[in-house]
């Protein structure tokens, strides 16, 4: 998302200009089947494995509007003699109608107002793996310093999903020649929704303080857990077929979603100058800059947590993400497509990075907040081997080994704090006392800090 200023002798291309090119046809959307023409109907038949009958449909000029009225006798008259084949086709059409009838859901969010989400996104939200995020505070131990910081990863993830949809739709509307399909939009929104699935208790405290001490030498980050949890969510809830019914192509789109969260799945390719991503081609490289921008850090994840954290912390947010949305365009820079903005918007981007610095100074790195998270980490370390969490196959995991078993990790949230605090087990006495000191505000004293 670099700042862009075109030289006076440059010749704008269709992808780097700020004008709106002519609209072009995009991929078939199942939800819009009543508006299909004959060709879209034939495309659907091919995709569902009924390609041999597309000519019969074309001869009778059957479009999306007429699909709904098709009956078994109609299919037989069209030459489909096999009853099983007719039944299979009718069942496929019935699923199409059911998908088109699925309602979107509207959330009333304190930051973004009314958020309308696609039915597939709702199916992901209504899983134990996603609902778990309700019990993980966005700012961890900072809540003990800022009373308003009680917001959680659940609402943040919905906000990121919403902003991801806004940005990608804005690009699709202003630059139709990019050929951003409804499938692309849905995948980007799913990535935004699921990007924080892997966070542990008290968010960054868990992966930056607890795990490095509990399992030294274990290279683990919450992004890795997000990928594992996303796979677990899809498999445990049987969402593969649901995703395909909503137009996603597996496993390609699953790879695309995970690559947006954590970067290339095949790190070796990037070291050899090859295109490192499997989900989308180099011509759609800009899609990887929306949820988690590995190039310059300007992404919708930050936009949401700036707005949300400032709202709950009582700090004024000086960055205006809505203005960025208005000016964002995809431009070709040295053969690669980037999300760019006008050079006059550089001040707004400076405000974004200044806002991040301000939040770190005033809240994220607050000395008392750091002390409290140090104490909670110490309590978790003392309780680690004594907390048993049931995982897959009946095995039990500790606090630190739950990251290796997503069934156990699904049950690990901020509530472990209360579990230790109100326990009566003698082996948890030391951990219980530390957390009791946190609650009673008997904190370690801050003497100072050093930096290497």
Residue 334 and residue 394 in one domain: no
pLDDT digits (tens, 9 = 90+) for 202-235: 999 999 999 999 999 898 999 999 999 999 999 9
222 is catalytic: yes
Domain count, the chain: 3
pLDDT at 63 over 90: no
pLDDT, greater one: 45 or 24: 45
Nearest to 15 by CA among 293, 329, 335: 329
Say what the pLDDT of residue 28 is: 52
User: Is residue 194 within 8 Å of residue 157, measured between CB atoms?
Assistant: yes
CA distance 233 to 157: 15
pLDDT digits (tens, 9 = 90+) for 95-145: 776 666 678 899 999 999 999 999 999 999 999 999 999 999 999 999 999
pLDDT at 371 over 80: yes
pLDDT at 288 over 70: yes
- Among candidate residues 59, 81, 101, the one where a domain is terminated: 101
Say what the pLDDT of residue 20 is: 45
Mention every residue, 6+ apart, whose C-beta is less than 8 A from residue 72: 86, 87, 90
Phi, psi of 267 (to 5 degrees): -65, -25
Say what the pLDDT of residue 13 is: 46
Residue 84 and residue 118 in one domain: no
- For residue 370, give both structure tokens: 């750091």
- For residue 195, give both structure tokens: 């990007």
The answer to whether residue 449 sits within a structural domain is no
pLDDT at 379 over 80: yes
Query: In angstroms, how far is CA 381 from the centroid of its own chain?
Result: 30
* Residue 87 banded pLDDT, cuts 50, 70, 90: confident
205's enclosing H/E stretch is helix 204-205
Does the predicted TM-score (pTM) go above 0.85? no
Say what the pLDDT of residue 271 is: 55
% helix, strand, coil for the chain, step of 5: 60, 5, 35
* Residue 24 banded pLDDT, cuts 50, 70, 90: very low
Residue 391 and residue 418 in one domain: yes
Residue 185 and residue 228 in one domain: yes
Average pLDDT over residues 186-191: 98
Residue 362 and residue 372 in one domain: no
pLDDT at 7 over 50: no
What is the Rg, in whole angstroms, of the alpha carbon atoms belonging to the chain?
25
Residue 351 and residue 377 in one domain: no
Residue 318 and residue 361 in one domain: yes
The answer to whether residue 22 sits within a structural domain is no
CA distance 400 to 403: 7
pLDDT, greater one: 57 or 5: 57
Average pLDDT over residues 355-369: 96
CA distance 399 to 407: 13
* Cα dist from 255 to 125, 192, 262, 317, 448, whole Å: 20, 14, 11, 34, 45
Say what the pLDDT of residue 451 is: 74
DSSP state of 2: -
pLDDT at 354 over 50: yes
- Among candidate residues 101, 129, 152, the one where a domain is terminated: 101
* Residue 30 banded pLDDT, cuts 50, 70, 90: low
Nearest to 328 by CA among 181, 166, 157: 166
Say what the pLDDT of residue 114 is: 97
Residue 182 and residue 303 in one domain: yes
* Residue 45 banded pLDDT, cuts 50, 70, 90: confident
- Domain with 74 in it: 30-101
pLDDT, greater one: 114 or 72: 114
Say what the pLDDT of residue 57 is: 87
Phi, psi of 358 (to 5 degrees): -65, -45
CA distance 15 to 329: 8
**Whether the bond into 251 is cis, omega within 30 of 0:** yes
Say what the pLDDT of residue 50 is: 86
Say what the pLDDT of residue 1 is: 52
Residue 47 and residue 134 in one domain: no
* Cα dist from 132 to 157, 195, 321, 380, 407, whole Å: 12, 14, 28, 19, 12
CA distance 246 to 99: 7
Residue 139 and residue 196 in one domain: yes
The answer to whether residue 452 sits within a structural domain is no
Residue 376 and residue 358 in one domain: no
Say what the pLDDT of residue 11 is: 43
Mention every residue, 6+ apart, whose C-beta is less than 8 A from residue 422: none
Phi, psi of 160 (to 5 degrees): -65, -40
* Residue 270 banded pLDDT, cuts 50, 70, 90: low
pLDDT at 25 over 80: no
CA distance 433 to 439: 10
pLDDT at 82 over 70: yes
**Candidates 118, 156, 195, 222; catalytic one:** 222
CATH number, domain at 72?
1.10.150.50
- For residue 146, give both structure tokens: 């800022």
Strand 3-4, strand 336-342: pairing:
parallel
CATH number, domain at 272?
1.10.3210.10
Residue 170 and residue 276 in one domain: yes
pLDDT at 3 over 70: no
* Residue 31 banded pLDDT, cuts 50, 70, 90: low
């Amino acid at each position: 998302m670099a700042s862009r200023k075109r030289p006076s002798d440059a010749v704008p291309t269709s992808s780097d200009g700020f004008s709106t090119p002519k609209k072009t046809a995009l991929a078939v959307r199942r939800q819009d089947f009543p508006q299909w023409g004959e060709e879209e109907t034939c495309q659907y038949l091919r995709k569902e494995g009924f390609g041999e009958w597309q000519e019969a449909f074309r001869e009778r000029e059957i479009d999306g509007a007429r699909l709904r009225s098709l009956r078994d006798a109609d299919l037989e008259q069209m030459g489909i003699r096999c009853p099983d084949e007719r039944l299979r086709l009718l069942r496929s059409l019935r699923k199409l109608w059911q998908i088109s009838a699925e309602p979107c859901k509207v959330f009333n969010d304190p930051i973004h107002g009314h958020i309308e989400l696609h039915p597939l996104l709702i199916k992901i939200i209504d899983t134990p793996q996603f609902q778990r995020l309700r019990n993980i505070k966005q700012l961890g131990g900072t809540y003990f310093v800022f009373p308003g910081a009680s917001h959680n990863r659940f609402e943040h993830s919905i906000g990121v999903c919403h902003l991801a949809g806004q940005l990608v739709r804005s690009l699709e509307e202003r630059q139709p020649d990019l050929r951003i399909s409804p499938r692309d939009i849905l995948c980007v929104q799913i990535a935004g929704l699921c990007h924080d699935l892997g966070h542990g208790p008290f968010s960054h405290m868990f992966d930056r303080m607890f795990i490095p001490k509990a399992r030294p030498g274990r290279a683990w980050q919450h992004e890795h857990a997000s990928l594992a949890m996303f796979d677990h969510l899809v498999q445990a809830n049987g969402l593969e077929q649901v995703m395909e019914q909503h137009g996603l192509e597996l496993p390609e789109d699953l790879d695309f979603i995970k690559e947006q969260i954590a970067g290339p799945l095949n790190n070796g390719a990037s070291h050899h100058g090859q295109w490192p991503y499997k989900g989308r081609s180099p011509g759609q490289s800009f899609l990887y800059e929306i949820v988690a921008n590995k190039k310059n850090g300007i992404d919708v994840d930050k936009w949401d947590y700036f707005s949300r954290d400032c709202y709950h912390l009582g700090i004024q947010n000086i960055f205006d993400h809505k203005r960025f949305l208005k000016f964002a365009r995809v431009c070709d820079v040295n053969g690669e497509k980037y999300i760019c903005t006008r050079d006059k918007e550089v001040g707004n981007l400076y405000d974004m990075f200044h806002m991040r610095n301000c939040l770190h100074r005033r809240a994220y790195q607050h000395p008392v907040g750091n002390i409290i998270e140090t104490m909670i980490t110490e309590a978790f370390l003392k309780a680690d081997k004594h907390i048993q969490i049931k995982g897959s196959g009946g095995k039990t995991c500790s606090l630190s080994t739950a990251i290796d078993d997503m069934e156990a990790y699904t049950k690990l949230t901020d509530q472990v704090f209360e579990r230790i605090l109100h326990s009566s087990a003698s082996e948890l006495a030391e951990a219980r006392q530390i957390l009791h000191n946190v609650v009673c505000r008997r904190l370690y004293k801050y003497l100072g800090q050093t930096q290497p």
